[in-house]
Amino acid sequence: MSDYLSEISAFVSRSQFHDLPSEVIERAGEVMADSLASIAAGAQEEEVKAFTKRVVAPGGKQVATLIGAGIQTEPLKAALINGTAGTFLELDEGNQFARGHPGIHVIPAALAVAEEMNLSGREVLTAVVLGYEIAARIGIASKIRMSMHPHGTWGTVGAAVAVGKLMGYEEGTMREIINVSSSLGLATSRRTMLEGGLVRNVYAGVSGYMGILAHELVQSGFTGEADGLQTVFGAVVSDTFVPDEMIKDLGNRFEIARNYFKRHACCRYNHATLDALGEIIAKAPGGTIKPDEVAKVEVETYSLAAQLSDPNPQNTLAGKFSIPFAVATYIVNGSTGVESFRPQAIQNPAIRKLAQRVTVTEDPKLTAMMPDHRPSKVKVMLTDGRALEAQTLTNKGDSEDPYGPEELRDKYYELAERVWKRDTAEAIYADALNLEKVDNINTMTSRMRR
């Protein structure tokens, strides 16, 4: 057994709430609130409603809340559906260093198990922070193949770690659940997001499901290989895995404190371009640019973002992964919120026509600035001959340029009030931000069922 695996297993099993720095606890509360709102709003999408109706049959175990649906089901199904709902609007938080979204993989599984066990907010926060930590560090230690989507891969291990922590696993059992869960990830495809394949939205939900399943397997006597992380993330889904990254500054640097939040309701690779476009629009006369004033828009950006170049997305998910569409809908609607990526926006002739005048190319110099920066250059050429330009190095909301508390609160209520009345949304928000003071997690989740 490699030393790094023993070290991370011991770290997770011995770490307690009082070991977490205050800034980590505060950020974990913000991640919890942000995730709850994203899940609740995503649960209102027709596909999620239909999926829930088909999967959740009347009767059976009813102990874990389906956020945004107002009902309960068994933990496995709650983790699956909540994780799926949380990715639908493309507004869940993420971690640029891990190149993925740890929170939406970990939180649904942790909440579902904690509800069944009547655990405290402190226990949930601790498990979420540690599950997030291990998931993110796998993302940092490896580099998932470019043909794969990161959802549904290392997040499965993070979910399993969170569940194991809630169950009180000692070092040996924690190591076992890590090894078992390492083999339970998905063979995901990046093409799903580019083509609008909605199956992509279930990847995170499957991770939560598998995280709980890993616990059931371990308790039933199932075992994994000696070092599943090394094999899966060093040879199967990635060619490189650097174990030292798993333990670098372990216990001193917490990945959840280096996360990012999203305000644009689309793929993060769009965000630098949209931030730059926002600067251009803000400086334009009257703070607007009319679609018929635009001759063309030229976008130069880094490699991953340059892949999002389809000007003809066929559904909402594809629209969220299209820079031409995102640029066009921003100019036409004056917003990059949820409504700007609805089916009616996808079919809007004015938006579709403008998207044809947006070009996206890779600038190798901008690609070389990754992962520390996510740069983009935007030039809007107007029909009167003027050229409006702006450039960004990082996305608004990243750890280098974070959103303030008011901006995060505004986002929460924009999403939460689609589902809950204001007083209910306020109570859930207060619980999430002060989860360490909640004696039983059901105090918070029961509010979601009223």
Which range has the worst mean pLDDT, 48-62, 154-168, 206-220? 48-62
pLDDT of residue 286: 87
Q: May I ask the CATH class of domain 3-263+405-449?
A: mainly alpha
Which among 1, 82, 7 has a CA at the least distance from the CA of 244?
7
pLDDT of residue 370: 86
pLDDT of residue 60: 77
Q: Could you name the CATH architecture of 268-392?
A: 2-Layer Sandwich (3.30)
* 3-263+405-449 matches 268-392 in fold: no
- Provide the mean pLDDT of the chain: 96
Name the residue type at position 127.
A
pLDDT digits (tens, 9 = 90+) for 336-348: 999 999 999 999 9
pLDDT of residue 1: 42
Sequence spans of domains, the chain: 3-263+405-449, 268-392
pLDDT of residue 321: 96
Are 314 and 376 a contacting pair, CB within 8 Å? no
Check pLDDT > 60 for residue 266: yes
Q: pLDDT grade, residue 371 (50/70/90)?
A: confident
Check pLDDT > 70 for residue 419: yes
Question: Per-residue pLDDT averaged across 241-265, rounded?
Answer: 97
Q: pLDDT grade, residue 122 (50/70/90)?
A: very high
pLDDT of residue 435: 97
Name the residue type at position 270.
N
pLDDT of residue 135: 98
pLDDT of residue 239: 87
pLDDT digits (tens, 9 = 90+) for 74-92: 999 999 999 999 999 999 9
Are 197 and 94 a contacting pair, CB within 8 Å? no
Which among 301, 263, 266, 253 has a CA at the least distance from the CA of 397?
263
